């Protein structure tokens, strides 16, 4: 079990790759699919109808979607900010860095409580149930998948995405220390144990 997310930062060469689109309400299903696929690929919305990415993903996006019929339209372009400061602001808005920063303290506090402030992983809240643990695990995993790593030149070295991935690593350690052996024993007691296909490290 490991939701690691991407681990390498993209580069910023002075311009954003963008998707500009207008899909009417009558084609709402297509619009929703367009936005979902674009987000999964790495685009984020700067404003309605304008998505930004640090890589040219136009081919990948087009390949997964049917052609947008008139009166809808979609075009791909590059946008070159007039200054580094403008690029920083555009990145912060499109990739929602303020919301990510507000989310971090609560999750970091939760993991600190589980590891006794990193002094003894697995020792905090020893009676925590698997269900309660996965409430935390899911929130961290969701943050990892929602916040891609961004160019350090635009967000600095201590960006939220990296801190979320550190929390994900700590969640995985907490899981293995608390529940891994417990679940293996439960699986071993099952009549279907021989049918379980384990990952290579088992």
- Separation between Cα atoms, residue 97 and residue 160, nearest integer Å: 7
Q: Please indicate, yes or no, whether residues 132 and 174 belong to a single structural domain of this protein.
A: yes
Of 138, 144, 143, which Cα lies nearest the Cα of 175?
138
Specify if 45 maps to a domain: yes
Q: Please indicate, yes or no, whether residues 183 and 101 belong to a single structural domain of this protein.
A: yes
Q: Which of 52, 73, 90 is the last residue of a domain?
A: 90
Q: Please indicate, yes or no, whether residues 110 and 155 belong to a single structural domain of this protein.
A: yes
pLDDT surpasses 80 at 183: no
Question: What global pTM score does this model have?
Answer: 0.83
Q: Which of 36, 57, 90 is the last residue of a domain?
A: 90
Specify if 64 maps to a domain: yes
Specify if 168 maps to a domain: yes
* Number of domains making up the chain: 2
Q: What is the pLDDT of residue 102?
A: 95
Q: What is the pLDDT of residue 7?
A: 75
pLDDT surpasses 60 at 1: no
**69: CATH:** 3.30.70
Specify if 40 maps to a domain: yes
Specify if 194 maps to a domain: no
Phi, psi of 74 (to 5 degrees): -150, 130
Position 64 confidence tier, pLDDT thresholds 50, 70, 90? confident
Q: Please indicate, yes or no, whether residues 184 and 118 belong to a single structural domain of this protein.
A: yes
- The more confidently predicted of residues 72 and 189 is 72
Give 59-111 as a DSSP string: HHHHHTSPPPPTT-EEEEEEE--SSHHHHHHHHHHHTTHHHHHHHHHHHHHHH
Specify if 182 maps to a domain: yes
Q: Please indicate, yes or no, whether residues 73 and 129 belong to a single structural domain of this protein.
A: no
- Whole-number mean pLDDT of the chain? 89
Burial class (CB in 10 A: 0-12, 13-18, 19+), 178: buried
Range of the domain at 183: 96-188
Q: Which of 75, 90, 105 is the last residue of a domain?
A: 90
Specify if 9 maps to a domain: no
Instruction: Select, from the ranges 36-50, 63-77, 112-126, the one with the highest average predicted confidence (pLDDT).
Output: 36-50
């Amino acid at each position: 079990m490991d939701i690691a997310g991407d681990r390498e930062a993209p580069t910023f060469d002075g311009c954003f790759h963008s998707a500009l689109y207008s899909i009417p309400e009558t084609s709402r299903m297509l619009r929703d699919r367009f936005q979902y696929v674009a987000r999964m690929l790495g685009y984020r919305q700067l404003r309605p109808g304008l998505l930004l990415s640090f890589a040219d993903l136009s081919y990948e996006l087009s390949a997964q979607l049917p052609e947008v019929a008139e009166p809808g339209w979609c075009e791909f372009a590059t946008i070159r900010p007039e200054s580094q400061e403008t690029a920083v602001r555009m990145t912060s808005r499109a990739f929602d860095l303020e919301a990510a920063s507000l989310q971090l303290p609560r999750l970091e506090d939760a993991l600190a409580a589980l590891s006794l402030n990193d002094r003894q992983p697995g020792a905090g809240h020893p009676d925590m149930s698997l269900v309660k643990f996965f409430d935390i695990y899911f929130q961290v995993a969701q943050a990892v998948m929602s916040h891609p790593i961004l160019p350090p030149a635009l967000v600095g070295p201590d960006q939220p995405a990296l801190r979320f991935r550190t929390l994900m690593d700590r969640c995985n350690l907490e899981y293995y220390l608390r529940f891994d052996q417990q679940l293996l024993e439960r699986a071993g007691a099952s009549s279907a144990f021989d049918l379980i296909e384990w990952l290579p490290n088992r």
